[in-house]
């Protein structure tokens, strides 16, 4: 275990306010990017989202101890994008990332390429692509596989004849695999409580899977948001959450629901 002293997380370690409050009491502080260059001789944690090379250079210049918790899936994607970019530049091609602009993971991916990538959030932004040049499409790991497939097909349909296009589904298997499981889970219950921080990207994707199977699905951040009216004519309630939702928080919600039923 780490020392009981201060530990700084560069950005929120999870998108869940309740868990952040709990961790802060144990010595974990969220550090803004602006403050990184002013911090010195401290321990800094790099989140699962990953970071661009510039972040590491700044941290080491400030004599910071870096605890790198980049997700192995994200780290592999960073390396893969960097290698693809090197080959693509020889063909005067374009590298696209299907993701949320400004998201920490996307910033880390684009940073591997010194910013030379197109971030595409939806089909409406495809006009930014030069379809007469080769294109390689990757995805932020927490996006919807269905949306990625639709976007990929739309790009392919607009490519000029004979110009190469390749799409790589780099969505995390844990996120993609949970969607059909959660949809089936949601269909088995009258009411679904999906526990997640509202800023969580994978939370939004997974909650959408619940909603698609059960209209009586509700996203909540904690037990305090539960409304008794949701459970009218309810014989069965299911509780699930985002990848970053701690087990203790879902158990807290389960206890609150049990009190309603009793």
Which residue's entry shows tokens 């996120």? Answer: 175
Whether residues 208 and 131 share a domain: the answer is: no
Q: Indicate if 44 and 115 belong to the same structural domain.
A: no
Domain assignment present for residue 1? The answer is no
The active-site residue, picked from 12, 19, 105, 221, is 105
Q: Where are the alpha helices (DSSP H) in the chain?
A: 17-25, 33-36, 53-61, 72-89, 104-111, 145-158, 173-187, 201-213, 247-261
Domain boundary residue among 116, 137, 167? 167
The candidate with the shortest Cα–Cα distance to 22, out of 31, 12, 36, is: 12
Q: Tell the burial category of 145 from Cβ atoms under 10 Å away from its Cβ (0-12, 13-18, 19+).
A: middle
**105 has catalytic annotation:** yes
* 66 within some domain: yes
> Tokens 């400030």 sit at which residue?
62
Same domain for 22 and 98: no
- Partners of residue 240 on adjacent β-strands: 194
Question: How many C-beta atoms lie closer than 10 Å to residue 198's C-beta?
Answer: 14
Token pair for 169: 């589904």
Note whether 13 and 28 are same-domain residues. yes
| Number of domains, the chain | 3
% of the chain beyond a pLDDT of 70: 97
How open is the CA angle 21-57-55, to the nearest 5 degrees? 35
Q: Are residues 154 and 240 in the same domain?
A: no
* Total number of residues shown for the chain: 262
111 and 147 housed in the same domain: yes
| 127 found inside a domain | yes
**Reduced DSSP (H G I as helix, E B as strand, rest coil) percent helix, strand, coil of the chain, to 5:** 45, 20, 35
Q: Which two tokens stand for residue 106?
A: 């996307």
Domain membership flag for residue 32: yes
- For residues 169-182, give the mean pLDDT: 88
* Structural domain range at position 48: 7-70
| Contact status, residue 23 vs residue 13, Cβ threshold 8 Å | yes
Which tokens hold the place of 251?
């158990």
pTM comes to 0.83
The CA R_g of the chain, rounded to the nearest whole Å, is: 21
Q: Are residues 196 and 242 in the same domain?
A: yes
CATH, residue 180 = 3.40.1010.20
Supply the pLDDT for residue 3. 46
Report residue 129 as tokens: 């692509």
Residue 241: inside a domain: yes
CATH number at residue 38: 3.40.50.11270
**pLDDT tens track for 75-130:** 999 999 999 999 999 999 999 999 999 999 999 999 999 999 999 999 999 999 99
- Res 28: pLDDT: 93
**Mean of all residue pLDDT scores within the chain:** 92
Is 79 contained in some domain? yes
The set of residues, in sequence order, having a beta carbon less than 8 Å from that of 164 and lying 6+ positions away, is: 91, 93, 134, 135
5-54 pLDDT, tens digit per residue, is 689 999 999 888 889 999 999 999 999 999 999 999 999 999 999 999 99
Cα(37)–Cα(39) distance, rounded to whole angstroms?
A: 6
Whether residues 82 and 156 fall in one domain: yes
pLDDT for res 178 = 87
Residue 184 in domain: yes
| Residue 195 and residue 218 in one domain | yes
Angstrom distance (rounded) from CA 237 to CA 187: 11
Do 150 and 183 sit in the same domain of this protein? Answer: no
Last residue of a domain, one of 117, 144, 167: 167
- Note whether 117 and 90 are same-domain residues: yes
Instruction: Write down which residue in 167, 186, 203 finishes a domain.
Output: 167
Residues of the chain with pLDDT > 90: what percent? 83
Confidence of residue 2 (pLDDT cuts 50, 70, 90): very low
Structure confidence by residue, pLDDT tens digits, 180-238 = 999 999 999 999 999 998 888 888 889 999 999 999 999 999 999 999 999 999 999 99
Residue 2 belongs to a domain: no
> 222 and 163 in one domain?
no
């Amino acid at each position: 275990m780490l020392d009981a002293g201060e530990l700084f997380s560069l950005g929120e370690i999870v998108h869940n306010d309740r868990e952040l409050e709990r961790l802060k009491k144990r010595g974990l502080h969220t550090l803004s990017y602006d403050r990184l260059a002013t911090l010195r001789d401290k321990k800094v944690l790099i989140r699962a989202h990953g970071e661009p090379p510039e972040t590491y250079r700044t941290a080491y210049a400030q004599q910071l101890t870096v605890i790198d918790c980049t997700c192995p899936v994200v780290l592999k994607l960073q390396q893969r994008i960097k290698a693809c970019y090197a080959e693509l530049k020889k063909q005067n091609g374009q590298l696209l990332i299907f993701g949320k602009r400004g998201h920490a993971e996307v910033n880390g991916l684009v940073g591997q390429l010194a910013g030379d990538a197109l971030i595409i959030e939806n089909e409406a932004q495809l006009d930014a692509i030069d379809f007469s040049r080769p294109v390689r499409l990757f995805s932020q790991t927490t996006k919807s596989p269905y949306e990625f497939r639709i976007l990929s097909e739309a790009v392919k349909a607009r490519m000029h004849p004979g110009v190469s296009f390749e799409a790589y589904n780099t969505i995390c298997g844990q996120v993609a695999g949970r969607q059909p499981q959660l949809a089936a889970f949601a269909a088995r219950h009258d009411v679904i409580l999906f526990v997640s921080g509202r800023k969580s990207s994978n939370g939004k994707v997974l909650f959408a899977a619940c909603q698609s199977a059960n209209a009586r699905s509700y996203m909540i951040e904690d037990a305090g948001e539960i409304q008794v009216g949701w459970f009218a004519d309810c014989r069965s309630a299911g509780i699930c959450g985002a990848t970053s939702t701690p087990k203790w928080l879902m158990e807290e919600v389960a206890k609150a629901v049990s009190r309603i039923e009793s």
